[in-house]
Structure 1
Amino acid sequence: MTEPLTTAEAMEAAALNREPHTDGTDHAPAPPHGPRPRSPAEWACRRIVLYLKAFEENLDEEHEAAMGFASGPGDGVMRIQGIGFSAPDLVTFAGVDARGERMQLVQHLSQLSVAFRAVRKAPDRPAQRIGFKLSRALEDDPATGAKRHADTT
């Protein structure tokens, strides 16, 4: 008998053997000869998206997800706008700091540590749910021709 899966483990297991596209740009179909081997960076990126989505599921309408840093510009927070990877060993995070200035973090897998924070949204727009948008690619199934989602805004 197997042990029950946590929510994140179940989401990760359901996403296996699918092609994720978390950058919000081109969502090309899966390679014609089946899925390609994934690098450790791609696996890390896929799992971070799943954890981000799970984190956002518990936020109210006045808060959105950001990444917290022990040190950094402003208040040490980046509002996440995108997550990606560079095989075989880098994960990237793009977003804006507390002043609204663009920033990007490139992190080696050996140093990877992600802290999500709930931050108050801007008053003039709805709270962003980037994890939900990024995870749509994990839910799309190229084998069945299911619709792919390119929009992350």
Structure 2
Amino acid sequence: MSGEIQTAAEAHEASALPCARVVHTAPDAPRTAELEPLPEGLTEESIEEKSPAEWAYERLILYIQNFEEQLDDEHEVAMGFTGGEAGVMRIEGIGFFAPDIVTFYGRDEDEARTQLIQHVSQLNVMLRALPKAPEVEEPRRIGFRLAADLHRK
């Protein structure tokens, strides 16, 4: 504690803002989503005004965008699933259905259309870099499209 005295309104506002922290073993580790400033769209409403699904969706966008910023032009973001035999999905879209569902759209390793519907209490995603599809000239960057959508609120 800094010893500062806060008004009730300041204390309430501070408790509603997301809190994040990250520690790496390497001092030159790339910047991570936890260290980036939150976009305006994520700070306009308090936590109580958003469903857990919306908060999960918005934070996933930050993680995906940050991950993509570190990829070269030969790779795209994909996600792996823990538990079961679901495998890896090349991310083509993400959505949420309030209050508690997050949905991922994409293609699996065999290019079959894939959709994962997940309850926020079970959310467990691993981001992976996969080589971009050979027929695609530019890598697809879903994180930037998702982040742009946050700003349109």
Q: State TM-score, norm by structure 2.
A: 0.69
Match of 1:98 among 78, 100, 109: 109
Question: Partner of 2:134: helix, strand, or coil?
Answer: coil
Match of 1:116 among 110, 116, 127: 127
Q: Which amino acid aligns with 2:85?
A: G
Q: Give the Cα–Cα distance (whole angstroms) in 2 for the partners of residues 14 and 47 of structure 1.
A: 13
Partner of 1:8: 33
Q: CA offsets per residue over residues 32-61 of structure 1, 9 Å max, x none? A: xxxx93211001100001110000000000
Pairwise mapping of residues 1-80 of structure 1 onto structure 2 (< 5 A)? 8-9=33-34, 10-12=36-38, 14-17=40-43, 37-70=49-82, 71-73=84-86, 76-80=87-91
Note the C-alpha offset of 1:139.
3.0
Using CA pairs under 8 Å that are at least 6 residues apart, name the structure with larger relative contact order, 1 or 2.
Answer: 1
Is the 2:53–2:102 contact (alpha carbons within 8 Å) kept by the matching residues of 1? yes
Is the 1:12–1:47 contact (alpha carbons within 8 Å) kept by the matching residues of 2? no
| Gap regions ≥5 residues in structure 2 | 3-18, 23-31
Partner of 2:26: none
Note the C-alpha offset of 1:14.
3.2
RMSD: 2.6
Q: Give the Cα–Cα distance (whole angstroms) in 2 for the partners of residues 4 and 99 of structure 1.
A: 36
Q: Give the Cα–Cα distance (whole angstroms) in 2 for the partners of residues 137 and 60 of structure 1.
A: 23
| Gap regions ≥5 residues in structure 1 | 20-35, 143-153
Q: Give the Cα–Cα distance (whole angstroms) in 1 for the partners of residues 43 and 37 of structure 2.
A: 12
Question: Partner of 2:125: helix, strand, or coil?
Answer: coil
Is the 1:41–1:88 contact (alpha carbons within 8 Å) kept by the matching residues of 2? yes
Note the C-alpha offset of 1:105.
0.5
Partner of 1:81: 92
- Aligned length in residues: 122
Is the 1:78–1:103 contact (alpha carbons within 8 Å) kept by the matching residues of 2? yes
Q: Give the Cα–Cα distance (whole angstroms) in 2 for the partners of residues 99 and 123 of structure 1.
A: 14
How much identity, in percent, do the aligned residues show?
52
